[in-house]
Amino acid sequence: MKNIIMLLMITLAVSSCSQQPQPQSLFNGTDLTGWHIDVPKMDDDPSLTSPFIVRDGMLVSLGTPKGHLITDEIYKDYRLEVQYRFAGEPGNCGVLVHASVPRALYKMFPKSLEVQMHHENAGDFWCIVEDVTVPDMEARRGPREEWGITEGKKRQVINLTDGSENPLGEWNTMVIECLGNALKVWVNGDLVNHGTDCTTDKGQIAVQAEGSEVEFRKILLTPITEFSL
């Protein structure tokens, strides 16, 4: 009888583990399968070198010409872990979540919410024809009458911390959790932003080419049903 009970317990444990959501790497380390490139300048000059390449098993955003690398699939309710570093001079880049309509802002940026990677500003939100609410909104976004989600409006929402990024040349880990109409962002373990009442709850994921070379060695997505913390 004891052997039967033990066998049942093991079976239940294995079954429970097998039902856990499995992480999915969005980058296969070899090519850009599962992604497509949207670089406006390449429309008129297709001979331009794409700003997104694979080098030494890493996804690299060369920074120029400016544009986006966008997943083919739409995602909802997930944890996205991104490991990145600036390969040379520090600068600008970002991960866009809930992306949809291409070139919706400045004929460049897809409708989305950007999680900023700009050096010393990692974790800021930028509203790109979508919106989000955070605590202390006026202190972190500016005067209410200037808020907006289109050109010329205050679209930046400052993050909660300073000093969360590692020294230049070292790898940073950014975790973005999107659940329903809320999202949370951690940088190297620090909770750096938390937004609610997002105007969308699903979409594609995009990586920017925005002037600086950035290397990515991990882009891992796991379905979630609750926030980590």
pLDDT averaged over the chain?
93
Q: Which of 79-83, 167-171, 184-188 has the lowest mean pLDDT?
A: 167-171
Domain 21-223's class? mainly beta
- Is there a contact between 192 and 35 (Cβ–Cβ < 8 Å)? no
Residue 18 β-bridge partners? none
In this prediction, residue 6 carries a pLDDT of 53
Whether 8 shows a pLDDT value over 50: the answer reads no
Whether 13 shows a pLDDT value over 50: the answer reads no
User: What are the boundaries of each domain within the chain?
Assistant: 21-223
Environment class of residue 226 by beta-carbon count within 10 Å: exposed (0-12), middle (13-18) or buried (19+)? Answer: exposed
Instruction: Express each pLDDT in 42-71 by its tens digit.
Output: 999 989 999 999 999 999 999 999 999 999
Q: Summarize the confidence of residues 178-191 as an average pLDDT.
A: 98
Residue with tokens 């297709």: 46
Q: What is the value of pTM for the model shown?
A: 0.91
In this prediction, residue 175 carries a pLDDT of 98
Handedness of CA 53, 91, 228, 224 (dihedral sign): negative
56 CB neighbour count, 10 Å cutoff: 8
Residue with tokens 């979508």: 130
Count CA atoms within 13 Å of residue 90 on its CB side: 14
Q: Which comes out higher in pLDDT, residue 7 or 118?
A: 118
Whether 17 shows a pLDDT value over 70: the answer reads no
User: How far from each other are the two terminal CA atoms of the chain, in whole angstroms?
Assistant: 41
Whether 4 shows a pLDDT value over 70: the answer reads no
In this prediction, residue 18 carries a pLDDT of 53
Q: What gap in Å lies between CA 56 and CA 59, rounded to an integer?
A: 9
Q: Which of 130, 200, 192, 195 is nearest to 163 (CA)?
A: 192
Q: Summarize the confidence of residues 109-114 as an average pLDDT.
A: 98
